[in-house]
Chain A
Amino acid sequence: MNISRTVLLAFVVTSLLGCATGLNMSPPAKLDMAGIQQHPFTAGLLLSKELKENVYLKQTSPFDKISYPLGEQTTQMFQKNLPLVFSKVVEIESRNASQDVDLIVEPSIVNFSSVIPMPAYNPYTAKIVYRVDIYNKKGEKIFTQTAAGDAQSSKGLMSGFSAQGIAADVAQKAMENAMKQILEGLSTAEELKKF
């Protein structure tokens, strides 16, 4: 009797607390940005702890959650793609450690939202807003670019068989969309051309 009580209680408690399932997302790709202008500077990429560890929790039922590794994806996306707009990119730990760089690039996630539909055949959507602040060596902010990216996908009536995969794909597409706009904004920024 004691065992059955313990099992039932454990079941009730874990059901109510819920466990977050990590969403499997493939590593972000290097974006195709043919013809984009590159600035002849060494940029220090400052990836804060808050950004690197950013996880978005999506409640998918009263007892289930999905966690989106937004920080991990964003970090890799900037590491892979920022060299498209700056001739050299090095990672730095803080704004003070900027001796060997011309400017500092600090990305952040402003907000993220996603829809995992019920019934599963409805559209899956995701939206993300990235912000990039650029500082000079004195620590003065010289430019900010915020960009919103969104995406929608579905496999129609087959969606239920790969719901997590679609949710991951949509989130990644929204990130790529926002990232492309950030890169275009950085590439064409007058403030950086005259820096």
Chain B
Amino acid sequence: MKKLISVFILILLFSTGCATTNRHPLKVDSTPSDALISVHDKKDSSTENTRKVAGTTPMGKNFDFPSEGSHLWLEIEKRGYVPQWVEVTPGTKALTVNLERMKDKSSEPVKEYTFPLVKRLLFAIPDFEVVKRGFSSEGVSKDESTAAKTGLAKGIQAYFTGKYEVVQIEGSQDDTQLLKSAWRDVRTAMELIDPIRLKYLSTPQYLETRGSREAARQLGSRYGAEVLLVLSGRQNLETAGMVLGKVGLTVAGTAASYGNAYGRAVSQGDSFFIYTVYVPEFSQGTLINAALIDCRAGEILWLNKGLWGTVNFNEPEAVNGIVQDLLTGLK
């Protein structure tokens, strides 16, 4: 039986894995600098959902090398330059990568990337819903969703006041149809493109279909705007019934635990007992995605997303705070 227990412990150890530290310092630079460094265990590994970003060049830090193989692949990316993969080992102390300029169809080096000059920003009413989570069901609250959309729109206007002229899409049938087309590709971009990596990708990213690019162009042309800003998101709010239910559940759990432990201690003559205090977990919060699209070409210029706690969209200060957070990096 002892052997069997040993085997069980051994299997558990194998299944949980034993981590060993294999950390080594490495300095990475590139010419030109300000290139994004991603870390991979294998060359050309498809890790779009689990990308490990080390930082931008020049930088130095401790890298965790795998215990087996003991080497890593660094992917170096910069807009307008051919991405490079470089193998490093614990022995590599410093590394400088010379990035090669990308070439166009006529084999000429591509021009330096520039962000379009913006005077007027077009803003679509946010695609935002507030979900009320009740005791035994949940559903979208139309009134609170409308209030949230209005609050966000005001927050955006306030943020850009004095910087750009902001004009909001009116919502005619034509506009709605164009926006629907643009939204389809924007939502996909929000899902698939890493906001941090976007500005470092070797080539600019565009809305996928000709239809959505044309929709962005027509909207821009109709309102005389260079860029289109869109926001989407959701807020989960728990109703009083849900909160009371959770609190009741945890109080009952704690009382049951206390009662059982106390009863056992009395019957066994113990001088102390241990019981569990259950604490309710609340899952309220706000998720917002944002994208900025170049109306002329349908290029995705900037993306961001963020999570916040419960936001009262009727309070301008609270809304301005999250708008400021969300639009960080967009100047």
Contacts and interface: CB of A to CB of B under 8 A. Distances in A.
B161 interface: no
A189 B211 CA distance: 6
A21 interface: no
Nearest to B280: A119
Interface residues of B, number: 37
Given A5-B4, A189-B209, A153 B138 contact: yes
Nearest to A158: B136
B8 to A, nearest CB: 6
Nearest to B234: A152
Interface string B159-199: 00000000000000000000011001101101110000000
A16 B135 CA distance: 36
A156 B137 contact: yes
A2 to B, nearest CB: 11
Contacts of A86: none
A123 B242 contact: no
Q: Is the interface of A mostly helix, strand, loop or mixed?
A: mixed
Interface string A81-118: 00000000000000000000000000000110000010
Interface in B221-253: 234, 236, 242, 245-246, 249
Interface residues of A, number: 35
Interface in B245-273: 245-246, 249
A8 interface: yes
B8 A156 contact: no
Interface in B128-175: 131, 133-138
Given A123-B283, A156-B137, A185 B209 contact: yes
B6 interface: no
A154 B134 CA distance: 9
B106 interface: no
Interface string B103-142: 0000000000000000000000000000101111110000
B131 A129 contact: no
Task: Identify the interface centre among A9, A188, A189: most chain B CB within 10 Å of its CB.
Answer: A188
Interface stretch (A25-33, A41-49, A52-60, A142-150): A142-150
A137 interface: no
A115 to B, nearest CB: 10
Contacts of B315: none
Interface of B: 1, 4, 7-8, 11-12, 15, 49, 131, 133-138, 180-181, 184-185, 187-188, 190-192, 208-211, 214, 234, 236, 242, 245-246, 249, 281, 283
